[in-house]
Amino acid sequence: MDDLWVFGYGSLIWRPGFAFLDRQPARLAGYHRALCIHSHVHRGTPQRPGLVFGLDRGGSCVGMAFRVAATDAESVVAYLRERELVTNVYRESHLPVRLHDGESVRALTYVVDRGHSQYAGRMTPAEAAVIVRGAHGQSGPNVDYVTSALAHITELGLKDRWLSEVVARL
């Protein structure tokens, strides 16, 4: 059995929650990181939903790829399913990513299900900022989630122009 690669693009980047052998920046083609999922609990309410990250179709996304030992793969997948598939707004996929060192690997990742009721769709940074600015859930203000995400992404040497534009409008 081969080692498992996991692609993180949001909080998995800085808080994976599982043991790994290696991590390095990686690019996923065909999807981009976006605040495209309505949060009704952690960063918003049903009356005033917030926004959290999903991988949506189009473009590309630079995130972090984690190599997990084959012996830990089953437990890591179980953990990720519990963490990411609570409301089934994501589809579990194995997609090709290009690692920083140039190697291509297939990585487990979670892509937004556009048919799910929590899918917020594409929006401009200005539209996203309006929603984020007014939302607050059990885990705190949506603004804190978004600004923290950008800080962690930047700290790791990654760039996200769209997210930077959202934060600039908060």
Domain borders along the chain are 4-121
Pairing relationship of beta strands 22-39 and 4-8 according to DSSP bridges: unpaired
Superfamily of domain 4-121: Gamma-glutamyl cyclotransferase-like (3.10.490.10)
Query: Could you read off the pLDDT of 98-157 as tens digits, one per residue?
Result: 999 999 999 999 999 999 999 999 999 999 999 999 999 998 999 999 999 999 889 888
Note the pLDDT tens digit of each residue in 5-36. Answer: 999 999 899 889 999 999 999 999 999 999 99
Annotated catalytic sites, by residue? 84
Give dist(CA 115, CA 11) in Å, integer. 23
Residue environment code for 82-95, b if the CB has 16+ CB neighbours within 10 A, otherwise e: eebeeeebbeeeeb
Name the pTM for this structure: 0.90
Give the model's pLDDT for residue 117: 96
Question: Cα(51)–Cα(15) distance, rounded to whole angstroms?
Answer: 19
Residue 123's pLDDT is what? 94
